[in-house]
Structure 1
């Protein structure tokens, strides 16, 4: 359904018993939307949980973006959704880029967020994009598209929008084979259902990404916030995931006071799809744990 939230209409999908523990899903991208995650996990997680998934402002089935958007806008939107739904407390689950607003939300609202789950998060865009390019390099060489990529990896200094754009542009050279670096070896035939959505719906991702990449805070490393997470926190990592860097994993394990780490050796970036049943069981038991 569409909900009027802070000057725009956000698409909010609710599933599961109204009296079950609530779990908010924050999608990645930036701009990917909730359709893929719900296709793989919506019905399964909602058997035991009250699952709420929100297309971030301007994304997929929410209203097209007007003006600009920041990560702080997203956190404020999620809190406004909670208030509109009359939910006192909930847990949150952030996938990929969604791990950033999930981390911000958990730190800013310690009395509201019960537990926080991160699936292959992107907390620091410098090691994240460097990790992506390193994962893509063998395939870029195979395709003869590796010109200048080694130089990109050698570049140092503060993370900038230009660095982001250069590294993501190198990824785009993979074309139709880009998904190969995101998937485990047993998941190479995985198709994302969102790819079948109308072009007009899919195109909203680009507008969202263009805005948030330029926004204050997007290139800020959120690793210092990990030591401020007061809730129990779970980090889910796919063995073939090219996003979350070793640096980020180490910081989570060192800095989060009540953190757990779950490693899916054969999965890639989309653990919720590649190891769906085990993922459902893990997330459900973690949210219900008392």
Structure 2
């Protein structure tokens, strides 16, 4: 259903009992939408939780963008949605880019967030894109990572993403474990092209904001809630440096290394993922 929030309408998929503990899913991409995650985990997690999946403003089944957007806007949308739904607090789960939003949200609104889960988060795009290029080199050794000093820039990220495009239709290989290379993400075939175009517009808008370039690693020390970091053993996004910072800076944190999974642990090891999330939130 569409719910009006802060001047736009967000597509919200609610599953499970309204009396169960609430869990908000924050998708990645930027612009991936919640459809894929809910296809694999929606009915599973809804057995124990009031699961809420939301397409971020401008993404897929939400209303198209009509103006600028940044990460602070998205966090404000989530908080306004919580108030609209009448929830005192909820746990949040952020995948990939959604891990950035989950970190910002947990720090900005600590009383609204009871627990936070990060699945292969992208907290520092300078580190994340370097890790991605290293993974791409295993498929295409001719790809070279240009030297860089200083903070991330829009041009740097554009250049690095362009290198990934050299993989062509093999790009998905770097995101999956060796035993899950045949995984198909449902949104690729079940979401209309028109809605994918909305996601593309959103991605272009968010990636050219100063906030997208910020390293969020300093925020880790401000987490006060119980936190779980899930890292797929073949994930090409979350860097070793980010894992180290989580383990050293988050005293309430738990680290889980998901063997034989890549970037989409929630799909590649669906049953185990459900058990892990359920155990942590319970």
Same fold (TM over 0.5): yes
- The partner residue of 2:159 within 166, 169, 175 is 166
Map residues 72-87 of structure 1 onto 2, 5 A cutoff: 72-87=72-87
CA distance, structure 2, for counterparts of residue 164 and residue 206 of structure 1: 16
CA distance, structure 1, for counterparts of residue 252 and residue 138 of structure 2: 37
Q: What's the offset of the Cα at 1:238? A: 0.1
Partner in structure 2 of residue 229 of structure 1: 223
TM norm structure 2: 0.98
Partner in structure 2 of residue 269 of structure 1: 263
Q: Is it true that 1:6 corresponds to 2:12 in the alignment?
A: no
CA distance, structure 2, for counterparts of residue 120 and residue 42 of structure 1: 19
CA distance, structure 1, for counterparts of residue 25 and residue 109 of structure 2: 16
Q: Is it true that 1:116 corresponds to 2:110 in the alignment?
A: no
Partner in structure 2 of residue 199 of structure 1: 193
Q: What's the offset of the Cα at 1:188? A: 0.4
Map residues 64-213 of structure 1 onto 2, 5 A cutoff: 64-141=64-141, 146=142, 149-152=143-146, 154-196=147-189, 197-213=191-207
Q: What's the offset of the Cα at 1:39? A: 0.4
CA distance, structure 2, for counterparts of residue 27 and residue 158 of structure 1: 25
- The number of aligned residues is 281
Structure 1, residues 117-141: CA drift from partner, whole Å, max 9, x if none? 0000000000000000110012123
Task: Report SS of the residue matched to 2:211.
Answer: coil
5+ unaligned residues in a row in structure 1: which ranges?
Answer: none
CA distance, structure 2, for counterparts of residue 155 and residue 233 of structure 1: 32
5+ unaligned residues in a row in structure 2: which ranges?
Answer: none
CA distance, structure 2, for counterparts of residue 158 and residue 44 of structure 1: 40
Task: Report SS of the residue matched to 1:241.
Answer: coil
Q: What's the offset of the Cα at 1:151? A: 4.4
Partner in structure 2 of residue 215 of structure 1: 209
Structure 1, residues 91-136: CA drift from partner, whole Å, max 9, x if none? 0000000001100000011111000000000000000000001100
Structure 1, residues 235-286: CA drift from partner, whole Å, max 9, x if none? 0000000000000000000000110001111000000000000000110121
Map residues 14-33 of structure 1 onto 2, 5 A cutoff: 14-33=14-33
Task: Report SS of the residue matched to 1:30.
Answer: coil
Q: What's the offset of the Cα at 1:54? A: 0.6
Partner in structure 1 of residue 281 of structure 2: 287
Q: What's the offset of the Cα at 1:73? A: 0.3
Residues 51 and 31 of structure 1, relative CA distance in 2, 3 Å threshold: same
TM norm structure 1: 0.95
